[in-house]
Amino acid sequence: MMNELPESVVMVPIDRIEILNSRDRNEKVFSEIVDNIRDIGLKKPITVTPRDGDDGKPKYLLVCGEGRLNAFSLLGEDHIPALVVNVSDEDALIMSLAENIARRGYRPLEILSDIEALRKRGHDADDITAKTGLSAKYVKDIVFLLDQGEVTWSSFLVQPS
Protein backbone atom coordinates (compact mmCIF):
# COMPACT_ATOMS: atom_id res chain seq x y z
CA MET A 1 0.00 0.00 0.00
CA MET A 2 1.11 3.56 -0.58
CA ASN A 3 2.79 5.59 2.17
CA GLU A 4 0.79 8.00 4.34
CA LEU A 5 -0.03 11.07 2.30
CA PRO A 6 -1.24 14.43 3.56
CA GLU A 7 -4.58 15.58 2.19
CA SER A 8 -4.06 17.67 -0.94
CA VAL A 9 -5.88 18.67 -4.12
CA VAL A 10 -4.23 17.35 -7.28
CA MET A 11 -5.21 16.69 -10.88
CA VAL A 12 -6.05 12.99 -11.12
CA PRO A 13 -6.41 11.03 -14.38
CA ILE A 14 -10.09 10.09 -14.74
CA ASP A 15 -9.23 6.68 -16.18
CA ARG A 16 -7.34 5.81 -12.95
CA ILE A 17 -10.42 6.31 -10.73
CA GLU A 18 -12.56 3.38 -9.61
CA ILE A 19 -16.08 4.13 -8.41
CA LEU A 20 -16.60 2.48 -5.03
CA ASN A 21 -20.29 3.15 -4.35
CA SER A 22 -22.03 3.88 -7.65
CA ARG A 23 -25.38 5.67 -7.68
CA ASP A 24 -28.12 5.98 -10.25
CA ARG A 25 -28.44 9.60 -11.26
CA ASN A 26 -31.52 11.68 -11.94
CA GLU A 27 -31.00 12.76 -15.56
CA LYS A 28 -32.27 16.31 -14.98
CA VAL A 29 -30.02 16.81 -11.96
CA PHE A 30 -27.05 15.30 -13.79
CA SER A 31 -27.68 17.56 -16.79
CA GLU A 32 -27.62 20.56 -14.43
CA ILE A 33 -24.28 19.39 -13.00
CA VAL A 34 -22.83 19.11 -16.51
CA ASP A 35 -24.16 22.54 -17.50
CA ASN A 36 -22.82 24.17 -14.31
CA ILE A 37 -19.36 22.67 -14.75
CA ARG A 38 -19.34 23.66 -18.42
CA ASP A 39 -20.43 27.23 -17.60
CA ILE A 40 -18.54 28.05 -14.40
CA GLY A 41 -16.15 25.19 -13.75
CA LEU A 42 -15.82 22.76 -10.89
CA LYS A 43 -16.61 24.45 -7.57
CA LYS A 44 -15.71 21.51 -5.32
CA PRO A 45 -13.11 18.82 -6.10
CA ILE A 46 -14.02 15.17 -5.89
CA THR A 47 -12.52 13.10 -3.05
CA VAL A 48 -10.38 10.03 -3.75
CA THR A 49 -8.10 7.72 -1.83
CA PRO A 50 -4.93 6.34 -3.46
CA ARG A 51 -4.15 2.68 -4.02
CA ASP A 52 -1.38 0.82 -5.81
CA GLY A 53 -2.42 -0.12 -9.34
CA ASP A 54 -1.70 -3.53 -10.83
CA ASP A 55 0.48 -1.81 -13.43
CA GLY A 56 2.64 -0.09 -10.80
CA LYS A 57 0.96 3.28 -11.33
CA PRO A 58 -1.31 4.81 -8.68
CA LYS A 59 -5.03 4.26 -8.97
CA TYR A 60 -7.73 5.89 -6.88
CA LEU A 61 -10.98 4.85 -5.23
CA LEU A 62 -13.69 7.49 -5.53
CA VAL A 63 -14.97 8.51 -2.12
CA CYS A 64 -17.24 11.44 -3.05
CA GLY A 65 -18.20 13.14 -6.30
CA GLU A 66 -19.45 10.56 -8.80
CA GLY A 67 -21.75 13.09 -10.50
CA ARG A 68 -18.89 15.58 -10.89
CA LEU A 69 -16.58 12.83 -12.15
CA ASN A 70 -19.13 11.63 -14.73
CA ALA A 71 -19.78 15.23 -15.83
CA PHE A 72 -16.06 15.88 -16.33
CA SER A 73 -15.76 12.70 -18.36
CA LEU A 74 -18.81 13.59 -20.48
CA LEU A 75 -17.27 17.01 -21.15
CA GLY A 76 -14.21 15.29 -22.61
CA GLU A 77 -11.82 15.99 -19.76
CA ASP A 78 -9.15 13.43 -18.92
CA HIS A 79 -8.10 14.81 -15.51
CA ILE A 80 -10.16 16.15 -12.59
CA PRO A 81 -9.24 18.11 -9.45
CA ALA A 82 -9.40 15.72 -6.50
CA LEU A 83 -8.85 15.97 -2.78
CA VAL A 84 -6.61 13.00 -2.00
CA VAL A 85 -7.21 11.44 1.42
CA ASN A 86 -5.47 8.39 2.79
CA VAL A 87 -8.17 6.12 4.25
CA SER A 88 -8.92 2.41 4.37
CA ASP A 89 -11.40 0.79 1.97
CA GLU A 90 -13.90 0.53 4.84
CA ASP A 91 -13.53 4.20 5.76
CA ALA A 92 -13.78 5.20 2.08
CA LEU A 93 -17.08 3.34 1.78
CA ILE A 94 -18.41 4.86 5.00
CA MET A 95 -17.39 8.35 3.86
CA SER A 96 -19.12 7.73 0.53
CA LEU A 97 -22.32 6.52 2.19
CA ALA A 98 -22.26 9.40 4.68
CA GLU A 99 -21.77 11.91 1.86
CA ASN A 100 -24.77 10.48 0.03
CA ILE A 101 -26.89 10.63 3.17
CA ALA A 102 -25.80 14.17 4.06
CA ARG A 103 -26.35 15.48 0.53
CA ARG A 104 -29.18 17.98 0.18
CA GLY A 105 -32.18 16.63 -1.69
CA TYR A 106 -31.55 12.99 -0.90
CA ARG A 107 -34.35 10.59 -1.62
CA PRO A 108 -35.75 8.53 1.28
CA LEU A 109 -35.09 5.28 -0.58
CA GLU A 110 -31.44 6.24 -1.02
CA ILE A 111 -31.04 6.97 2.67
CA LEU A 112 -32.71 3.66 3.53
CA SER A 113 -30.32 1.85 1.20
CA ASP A 114 -27.28 3.58 2.70
CA ILE A 115 -28.34 2.90 6.29
CA GLU A 116 -28.99 -0.73 5.35
CA ALA A 117 -25.51 -0.94 3.77
CA LEU A 118 -23.89 0.47 6.90
CA ARG A 119 -25.84 -2.00 9.07
CA LYS A 120 -24.69 -4.91 6.90
CA ARG A 121 -21.12 -3.76 7.50
CA GLY A 122 -21.65 -4.06 11.26
CA HIS A 123 -22.38 -0.45 12.24
CA ASP A 124 -24.98 0.18 14.94
CA ALA A 125 -27.46 3.07 15.11
CA ASP A 126 -25.19 5.24 17.30
CA ASP A 127 -22.27 4.78 14.90
CA ILE A 128 -24.46 5.59 11.87
CA THR A 129 -25.79 8.69 13.63
CA ALA A 130 -22.26 9.89 14.40
CA LYS A 131 -21.00 9.24 10.86
CA THR A 132 -23.95 10.75 8.99
CA GLY A 133 -25.20 13.62 11.13
CA LEU A 134 -28.76 12.31 10.92
CA SER A 135 -30.91 12.54 14.03
CA ALA A 136 -30.53 9.66 16.48
CA LYS A 137 -34.30 9.06 16.55
CA TYR A 138 -34.52 8.89 12.75
CA VAL A 139 -31.64 6.43 12.47
CA LYS A 140 -32.90 4.30 15.36
CA ASP A 141 -36.38 4.15 13.81
CA ILE A 142 -34.96 3.02 10.45
CA VAL A 143 -32.65 0.49 12.12
CA PHE A 144 -35.58 -0.85 14.16
CA LEU A 145 -37.63 -1.36 10.99
CA LEU A 146 -34.68 -3.02 9.26
CA ASP A 147 -34.04 -5.30 12.23
CA GLN A 148 -37.72 -6.29 12.34
CA GLY A 149 -37.71 -7.08 8.62
CA GLU A 150 -40.43 -4.47 8.15
CA VAL A 151 -38.60 -2.64 5.41
CA THR A 152 -35.73 -3.44 3.05
CA TRP A 153 -34.32 -1.74 0.02
CA SER A 154 -35.42 -4.68 -2.12
CA SER A 155 -39.02 -4.28 -0.90
CA PHE A 156 -39.16 -1.03 -2.87
CA LEU A 157 -38.03 -2.51 -6.16
CA VAL A 158 -40.74 -2.79 -8.78
CA GLN A 159 -41.68 -6.40 -9.24
CA PRO A 160 -42.56 -7.61 -12.76
CA SER A 161 -46.27 -8.42 -13.12
Hey, which residues does 48 pair with through a beta bridge? Answer: 62, 84
Range of the domain at 79: 1-87
Task: Give the CATH number, domain containing residue 32.
Answer: 3.90.1530.10
pLDDT confidence of residue 102 = 66
Cα-based angle 7, 11, 12 (whole degrees, multiple of 5): 90
- pLDDT tens digits for 57-105? 999 999 989 989 999 999 999 999 999 999 988 888 878 877 776 665 5
Number of domains the chain is built from: 2
Mean pLDDT value across residues 139-143: 83
pLDDT at 146 over 60: yes
Decide if 129 is inside a domain.
yes
**Do 2 and 75 reside in the same domain of the chain?**
yes
Nearest to 98 by CA among 145, 47, 155: 47
- Enter the pTM of the model: 0.67
Q: Of 56, 87, 118, which one is at a domain's C-terminal end?
A: 87
User: Is the torsion defined by CA of 124, 138, 62, 20 positive or negative?
Assistant: positive
- 78 and 3, same structural domain? yes
* Domain presence at residue 100: no
Residue 5 is predicted with a pLDDT of: 46
CA distances from 126 to 64, 97, 111, 122 (A): 23, 15, 16, 12
Query: Does residue 1 share a domain with residue 61?
Result: yes
